[in-house]
Amino acid sequence: MIQSLRGMNDILSEDYERFEYFIATASTIAKRYGFHYIETPLLEETALFKRSVGESSDIVGKEMYQFIDKGKNDVCLRPEGTAGVVRAFIQHKLDKKGGIHRFYYHGPMFRYERPQKGRLREFHQFGIESFGVASVYEDALMIMMVSDILKALGIGYRLKLNSLGDQNCMPAYREKLVRFIESCGDAICGDCERRKLTNPIRVLDCKNEHCQNLYVNAPKLIDNLCEGCESDFETLKSILDQHSIAYEIDTNLVRGLDYYSKTAFEFVSDNIGSQSAIAGGGRYDRLIEFLDGKPTPAVGFALGIERLMELIVMPEKVREGYYFGAMDETAIKPILLAAEKARRSEKAVVEYKPRKLQDHLKGSDRINARYCAIIGENEMNQNSIWVKDLVEKTETLIPLNEFFA
Ligand code: HAM
């Protein structure tokens, strides 16, 4: 029997209710903050991700679903959403137009990682990208938005915060860090050896315990910020304090994608096992010019929907709509007409098999209908339909001409 691919899941209706509830809640909040929906293709040129996410990242180095298509184009299933949105922003000349452009999106992302709980090869993100605001207030807005979304879903979190510096302070810090890494000699792992040459700050979040012990004394990003970055970071912290959003400074938080500068943040949950990052984001002021657009400040984040699924507190289910049933064959036609009428404004589900009343009532419970509407011999004789309101526990015999009015 053919099975789905490893790390790629079906979302069946029960889970989909949660999924849909998440999308609806997050979209409502994004719209309240003035963001507009954007849809970009799942497939893009591989070069887009190489130039944005970065050749030194695990995502590009090891995890891309990359292939040559029939037209001999080197293409790739998107491993994340930011690159595609930035590409669209530049392609549609919004960078030239200037002003502020705020987008949200959701959809599948693909990374060829080793599947485990919370780590899939096809997973879904809800993401936000904001273009044109250089102010750290926009960074705070991003964090407030994630916090709002998680709060609305009843999900607790810890927020980790760091600043990665900018083109003024990052080069000197890099040099300092490389000198430190070199002082560790051969003791570092192969991955760090590679990172030292491509993107040295990535060594800081190396998962190898031996490396982590070595880097305890490494120079910290946060102690090497220029005046501008430092004062922005202070402002960010004070806004979060003002909004009672608790945070922890994590000096090793560098994020797994190369495009970030200045603010970087990650939301983690302590209730979902080792893959604990539920959202991540930050500022990426240089990315648009790296992709040949007009220099434009930008900031954004993405939430991993699968990791949130088991944490979402769903609202209590309310009974809604109609269940329609016939008690004998002749009643099916009027039942179909009645269902069609009801469906113009509400859910209306028809059971085609003639059944006893008790079975129809059970059917109404199964679909959580508010009304159980039945036609049997008695109702046929009286040209009526029997309707039970399962919330108010009332029963009414309604003449069909009234029901259709
Ligand atoms: P990211 O941290 O790579 O950032 O991914 C964001 C979230 O996607 C993670 O926090 C996690 O919840 C979820 N996620 C990542 N990989 C997997 C996986 N293999 N299985 C399940 N869930 C996963 C980005 O993708 C950036 N584009 C975020 C961003 C937007 N930064 C600025 N704008």
User: What is the residue with the minimal CA distance to atom 23 of ligand 1?
Assistant: 304
Residue 105 CA, ligand 1 centroid: distance in Å: 13
Residue 303 CA to residue 298 CA, distance in Å, equals 17
The answer for residues whose C-beta is within 8 angstroms of residue 103's C-beta and 6 or more apart is 35, 36, 37, 38, 85, 128, 129, 130, 131
Q: Which amino acid is at 356?
A: K
Residue 281 CA, ligand 1 centroid: distance in Å: 8
Over the stretch 194-224, which tens digit does the pLDDT of each residue have?
A: 889 888 999 998 989 999 999 999 999 999 9
The answer for residues whose C-beta is within 8 angstroms of residue 76's C-beta and 6 or more apart is 43, 44, 45, 46, 48, 49, 64, 65, 66, 67
**Contact assessment for residue 143 and residue 313, using Cβ atoms and an 8 Å cutoff:** no
Per-residue pLDDT at 56: 82
The predicted model scores a pTM of 0.93
Residue of 307, 309, 311, 312 best suited for mutating to test ligand 1, as the one with most atoms within 8 Å of CB: 307
Per-residue pLDDT at 256: 87
Residue of 63, 125, 308 best suited for mutating to test ligand 1, as the one with most atoms within 8 Å of CB: 125
CB atoms within 10 A of CB 170: 20
Backbone angles phi, psi at 289, to 5 degrees: -70, -30
In ligand 1, which atom is closest to the CA atom of 120? 20
* Six-digit token string for 379: 């109702």
CB atoms within 10 A of CB 329: 10
Backbone angles phi, psi at 297, to 5 degrees: -65, 150
Residue 57 CA, ligand 1 centroid: distance in Å: 13
Residue 333 CA to residue 374 CA, distance in Å, equals 12
Per-residue pLDDT at 7: 98
Residue 395 CA to residue 218 CA, distance in Å, equals 75
Per-residue pLDDT at 47: 97
Nearest Cα residue to 287 out of 44, 43, 41, 49: 49
Residue 371 CA to residue 359 CA, distance in Å, equals 14
Low-confidence ranges of the chain (pLDDT < 50): none
In ligand 1, which atom is closest to the CA atom of 257? 3
* Three-class DSSP category at 334: helix
In ligand 1, which atom is closest to the CA atom of 284? 32
CB atoms within 10 A of CB 249: 13
DSSP count for the chain of H helices, then E strands:
16, 16
The answer for residues whose C-beta is within 8 angstroms of residue 2's C-beta and 6 or more apart is none
**Contact residues of ligand 1, CB 6 A cut-off:** 80-82, 111, 113, 119-120, 123, 125, 127, 129, 256-257, 277-282, 300-302, 304, 306-307
Residue 71 CA, ligand 1 centroid: distance in Å: 30
Over the stretch 345-360, which tens digit does the pLDDT of each residue have?
A: 999 999 999 999 999 9
| Residue whose token pair is 């806004």 | 239
Residue of 80, 155, 269, 275 best suited for mutating to test ligand 1, as the one with most atoms within 8 Å of CB: 80
Residue 125 CA, ligand 1 centroid: distance in Å: 7
Over the stretch 385-396, which tens digit does the pLDDT of each residue have?
A: 999 999 999 999
Per-residue pLDDT at 205: 86
**Contact assessment for residue 177 and residue 214, using Cβ atoms and an 8 Å cutoff:** no
Q: Taking the C-alpha atoms of 255, 256, 258 and 264 in order, what is their torsion angle to the nearest 10 degrees?
A: -10
- Sign of the C-alpha dihedral computed for residues 193, 194, 197 and 203 taken in this order: negative
Residue 387 CA, ligand 1 centroid: distance in Å: 49
Residue 32 CA, ligand 1 centroid: distance in Å: 23
